[in-house]
Chains A and B, each alone.
Chain A
Amino acid sequence: MSKATAQKSKGTPGQIRSARIERTGAIVISAVALIWILANIIKSPEQFAQVAVLGLRNGLLYALIALGYTLVYGIIELINFAHGDLFMLGTIFSSYFLTVWLKQDKSGPSGWLAFALCLLAVMVLGAIVNVLIERLAYRRLRNAPRLAPLITAVGMSFLLNFIGLKWNGSTPRQWPTVIPSFEVSIFGVKISWVTIILFFIGIPLLLGLNYIVNRTKQGKAMRATAQDKDAAALMGINVNKTIAFTFAIGGAMAGAAGLFYQQAIGTTNFNLGFQLGLIAFTSAVLGGIGNLWGAVVGALLIGLIQGLNDGLPIALGQQWSQSVVFAILIIILVFKPAGLLGKVTTEKV
Chain B
Amino acid sequence: MLLFGIYQFLLPWEGLPGGIYDAIYLWIPPAAINESLVYVIMALGLNIVVGYAGLLDLGYVAFWAIGGYCAGWFMSEFFFFLNVHFLGSVTADRPGIHINFWLVLLIGGFICALFGILIGAPTLRLKSDYLALVTLGFGEIIPQIFFNGEDFFGYNISNGTKGIVIVDPLPVGVKNLGPFDFGWKLLIFILLAALMVFISLRLRSGRLGRAWLAIREDELAASMMGVPLMRTKLASYAVGAFAGGVGGVAFATHVNGVYAERFNFTISIFLLAMVVLGGMGNVWGVILGAFILSWVNGNGLTAFGTFYNEKFGTSIDFASFTFLLFGLVLILMMLFKREGLIPESRLKLMLHEEELDKEVADGKERA
Contacts and interface: CB of A to CB of B under 8 A. Distances in A.
Do A and B come together as binding partners?
yes
Interface stretch (A104-112, A156-164, A222-230, A300-308): A156-164
A132 to B, nearest CB: 13
Contact of A151 (B56, B138, B353): B56
B193 to A, nearest CB: 25
B174 interface: no
Nearest to A81: B132
B62 to A, nearest CB: 12
What's the interface size class on A, roughly? 35 or more
Kindly name the residue among A79, A144, A154, A330 whose own CB sees the greatest number of chain B CB atoms within 10 A: A154
Contacts of A140: 335
Interface residues of B, number: 47
A143 B338 CA distance: 13
Contacts of B141: 323, 326-327
Contact of B327 (A143, A157, A326): A157
Interface in A268-292: 274, 278, 281, 285
A156 B122 contact: no
A20 to B, nearest CB: 19
Contacts of A143: 354
A327 B327 contact: no
A195 interface: no
B107 interface: no
A194 to B, nearest CB: 29
Given A320-B148, A323-B145, A148 B334 contact: yes
A262 to B, nearest CB: 21
B140 A151 contact: no
Contact of B126 (A137, A155, A327, A334): A334
Kindly name the residue among A77, A78, A155 whose own CB sees the greatest number of chain B CB atoms within 10 A: A155
A326 B140 CA distance: 8
A327 B137 contact: yes
B330 A155 contact: yes
Contacts of B323: 158-159, 161-162, 165
A319 B149 CA distance: 11
B56 A150 contact: yes
Nearest to A146: B128
Contacts of A326: 137-138, 140-141
A144 B272 contact: no
A347 B330 CA distance: 29
A170 interface: yes
A143 B329 CA distance: 21
Q: Interface majority SS on B: helix, strand, loop or mixed? A: helix
Interface in A115-146: 137, 140-141, 143-146
A44 interface: no
Given A162-B321, A320-B148, A152 B132 contact: no
B134 A158 contact: no
Given A320-B148, A322-B144, A161 B327 contact: yes
A145 B350 CA distance: 8
A323 B144 contact: yes
Interface in B308-367: 320-321, 323-324, 326-331, 333-335, 338, 350-351, 353-354
A79 B129 contact: yes
Interface string A312-329: 000000011011001101
A349 interface: yes
Contact of B331 (A77, A78, A152, A322): A152
A147 interface: yes
Interface string B30-45: 0000000000000000
A143 B272 CA distance: 22
Given A155-B326, A156-B331, A337-B130, 14 more contacts: A144-B351, A147-B128, A147-B351, A148-B351, A150-B128, A150-B129, A154-B58, A158-B327, A278-B136, A326-B140, A326-B141, A327-B141, A329-B133, A333-B130
Interface of B: 54, 56, 58, 122-123, 125-130, 132-134, 136-138, 140-141, 144-145, 147-148, 220, 265, 269, 272-273, 276, 320-321, 323-324, 326-331, 333-335, 338, 350-351, 353-354
Interface of A: 77-79, 137, 140-141, 143-152, 154-162, 165-166, 170, 274, 278, 281, 285, 319-320, 322-323, 326-327, 329-330, 333-334, 337, 347, 349
The 9 closest A-B pairs by CB, nearest first: A155-B330, A158-B327, A159-B327, A162-B323, A155-B331, A326-B137, A162-B324, A334-B122, A143-B354
16 contacts: A78-B129, A146-B127, A146-B129, A147-B128, A151-B56, A152-B334, A155-B327, A159-B324, A161-B327, A162-B324, A166-B320, A274-B265, A320-B144, A329-B133, A333-B133, A333-B134
